[in-house]
Structure 1
Amino acid sequence: MRRSYAVTISTLAKRATEAGGFYALDKPVGITSQRALTIAKRQLGVRKAGHSGTLDPLASGLLVIAVGSWSRLLAFVLGADKVYHAVIRLGLRTDTLDITGAVEGFQPVPSSIGVDEVRAGLERFRGSIDQIPPAFSALKINGVRAYTLARAGQEVVLSQRAVTIHAIELLHLTRSGPFLDAAIRVHCSSGTYIRSLARDLGETLGMGATLFALRRESIGSVTLESAKDPANVEPEDRLPLSMVFPGAAYYTIDGEMLAKARNGHALDCPPTLGASKEMLVLADGVEPEHQRLVGVYAVQDDKLVPLRVVPPEGTR
């Protein structure tokens, strides 16, 4: 029996013309990233939205979200570098590699472990490293989330992944009973797990360690300075294109070329762009910060090839 779907023309039109944009949220501790996104969608009055990468409920800080048809552009944000402020508790081991997990062991941190020892331990992770993700993660094993298997008591074996720690800084150390809390700032590639970094630091220093607190401070060129509480974000808080795509060139089009672009056709590449441009934001309008985004294109030979094209926005 053929299933029928009834969607009114007005509903389709409303969805197609829903204004898009990027926004920066400051996710509070204690809620999921999806919950923060849901709150922001309600506040902005949009149906469709996605975010730039999950923060655990333990963590706070920056989420970049894209609403409306712009959600298809999140792929260009997901791979950006991240900066985190983290507190690692030395002397404690948990199954989730953070403070919310079940304790698997602990030992008092000897007084011989101080700033010099922790800083030297951190330096071992600077640069390109291989990292084993946490068993309690959203990565999939044969189509099943790793955390689902871990919560069921099954053994979880994840392969090492190459990540890059561009910079890692010890901010301060604090004694907390038998433990030692190390506050650090990490500038890392996408895909880096700070929980795994905590575990590995503990092993390097000859003791357990777990993540005590985490705050994401930046994603690419977007920082917490632009972020709003999910419940307070407003349409006028939309991020400028230059912040989301800091290295992109702008090419203003209209008329016949705009119609071709809206239909996903490749365009002739203006000689003034040069051959070095990898990504191009196309917009129709006058000033880049007030243009309506048409799509993101790549320069290939003498053509502009569409990577993502977004439908026209509705009236803002």
Structure 2
Amino acid sequence: MAKQTSNLTGLLVVNKPKGMTSFGVVARLRRISGQKKIGHAGTLDPNVDGVLVVALGKATKLIDLLQTVPKTYQGTVTFGYSTESQDSDGAVVEDQPLSEGINEDELKAAFKSLEGDIIQIPPIYSAVKVHGKRLYEYARANEPVELPQRQATIYEFAPTSALKWVENQPYQQIDFDAVVSKGTYVRTLSYDLGQKLGLPATMTSLTRVGGSGFSIEEATTLEELMELDEEGIKAKLKPISDVLPYERKDLTEVEFTWVKNGRKISSWPKTDEGFYQLYYEDQLVAVYRYSDEEELWRSRYYFL
């Protein structure tokens, strides 16, 4: 176990195992790092494995930014039945055994029709909050609740295998890739794919292979992280600068004093993207954002 410390700052790219909540991963990493400021950039359901980016220390300030980056998944959808949770964890609520194979051209068209800006209705067994209470809490208490509508953007949703019959069962399944925005329910996307075909459907496997700008090839298993000492954890940390897509500006001593004091600045030229990542003596100090309304630069993130 790592020596207890409290000053680790950076990003850990974790390959979350199935059967564990994202909160559980963070709790374990908090214990071994001794860093109380820690959080993740996008929940994975317990039965989903793959990339979970965990921010430590000052990097937690970037969680909102990290969550805006599209996420990439590989999964499998099975046609012929659906569950209350829209994945394999839930009880079956509709069973429609297939008497013949699905038309592949119609299936490809259904995939394509779900790309772009869409509206999703999340399943009742989900963590979406309505009136301060999570949907699954309503379900467990058998209380009625109106399911909310959520906007999502599907950048890519495409099959990656041929249709195949489930062994000894009257169901078909297909593998897929999905690149989606923050807040997208891929299990709902799978269910909606079935609805396009007039069939019940269930997401039966899912792995996040990319998130917050990192790939699964860069991820470390939780088991391996639990075996590392403090220096080992430090070696796995990605620096904050790795996820900042903004133009770099090196500060003079006077400008560093301004930034350190949170001063608004009007003398810098405006950039196309409206952001600067600011360095002093090769150390990341802050991110400043341009305000069109005030016509000046102001602090967005401060890292000292």
Against the structure 1 CA distance between its residues 128 and 193, is the aligned structure 2 distance closer, same or farther, given a 3 Å change threshold? same
Instruction: Tell me how far 1:106 sits from its aligned partner.
Output: 1.2
Q: What per-residue deviation string (whole Å, max 9, x for no partner) do you get for residues 166-208 of structure 1?
A: 1111011321121112211011111111111111111111111
Among all aligned residue pairs of Structure 1 and Structure 2, give the percentage whose two residues are the same amino acid. 31
Against the structure 1 CA distance between its residues 44 and 94, is the aligned structure 2 distance closer, same or farther, given a 3 Å change threshold? same
| Residue of structure 2 in register with 1:306 after alignment | 299
| Residue of structure 2 in register with 1:131 after alignment | 120
1:248 equivalent in alignment to 2:239:
no
Supply the distance in 2 between the matched residues of 1:183 and 1:91 (Cα, whole angstroms): 15
Q: SS in structure 2 opposite 1:191?
A: coil
1:59 equivalent in alignment to 2:63:
no
| Residue of structure 1 in register with 2:26 after alignment | 37
Supply the distance in 2 between the matched residues of 1:228 and 1:41 (Cα, whole angstroms): 16
Q: What per-residue deviation string (whole Å, max 9, x for no partner) do you get for residues 79-129 of structure 1?
A: 221111111111111111110011112121232304323212211101111
Question: What letter matches 1:125 in structure 2?
Answer: L
Supply the distance in 1 between the matched residues of 2:267 and 2:241 (Cα, whole angstroms): 21
Unaligned runs of 5+ in 2: 226-232
Instruction: Tell me how far 1:264 sits from its aligned partner.
Output: 2.5
| Residue of structure 2 in register with 1:101 after alignment | 90
1:161 equivalent in alignment to 2:159:
no
**Over 6 Å off, 4+ runs:** none
Instruction: Tell me how far 1:211 sits from its aligned partner.
Output: 1.2
Supply the distance in 2 between the matched residues of 1:108 and 1:307 (Cα, whole angstroms): 54
1:198 equivalent in alignment to 2:190:
yes
| Residue of structure 1 in register with 2:258 after alignment | 260
1:121 equivalent in alignment to 2:119:
no
CA RMSD of aligned residues (A): 2.0
Larger mean Cα displacement after TM superposition, 112-121 or 145-154: 112-121
Q: SS in structure 2 opposite 1:299?
A: strand
Q: TM-score, normalised by structure 2?
A: 0.87
Instruction: Tell me how far 1:306 sits from its aligned partner.
Output: 1.0
Q: What per-residue deviation string (whole Å, max 9, x for no partner) do you get for residues 41-88 of structure 1?
A: 334342220000110001011111110122122111112211111111
| Residue of structure 2 in register with 1:295 after alignment | 286
Larger mean Cα displacement after TM superposition, 230-239 or 95-104: 230-239
| Residue of structure 1 in register with 2:160 after alignment | 171
Pairs aligned (count): 288
Q: SS in structure 2 opposite 1:215?
A: strand
Supply the distance in 2 between the matched residues of 1:53 and 1:135 (Cα, whole angstroms): 19
Q: SS in structure 2 opposite 1:197?
A: helix
| Residue of structure 1 in register with 2:80 after alignment | 91
Supply the distance in 1 between the matched residues of 2:109 and 2:54 (Cα, whole angstroms): 37
Residues 222, 243 of structure 1: 8 Å contact kept = no
| Residue of structure 2 in register with 1:110 after alignment | 99
Against the structure 1 CA distance between its residues 110 and 171, is the aligned structure 2 distance closer, same or farther, given a 3 Å change threshold? farther
1:232 equivalent in alignment to 2:224:
yes
Instruction: Tell me how far 1:34 sits from its aligned partner.
Output: 0.9
Residues 59, 240 of structure 2: 8 Å contact kept = no
| Residue of structure 1 in register with 2:172 after alignment | 180
Residues 22, 238 of structure 1: 8 Å contact kept = yes
Q: What per-residue deviation string (whole Å, max 9, x for no partner) do you get for residues 229-274 of structure 1?
A: 12434211222445412x3111222534334323332234533xx4
Q: SS in structure 1 opposite 2:122?
A: coil
Supply the distance in 1 between the matched residues of 2:237 and 2:221 (Cα, whole angstroms): 13
| Residue of structure 2 in register with 1:283 after alignment | 279
Supply the distance in 2 between the matched residues of 1:192 and 1:239 (Cα, whole angstroms): 26
| Residue of structure 2 in register with 1:8 after alignment | none
Unaligned runs of 5+ in 1: 1-13
Supply the distance in 1 between the matched residues of 2:214 and 2:275 (Cα, whole angstroms): 18
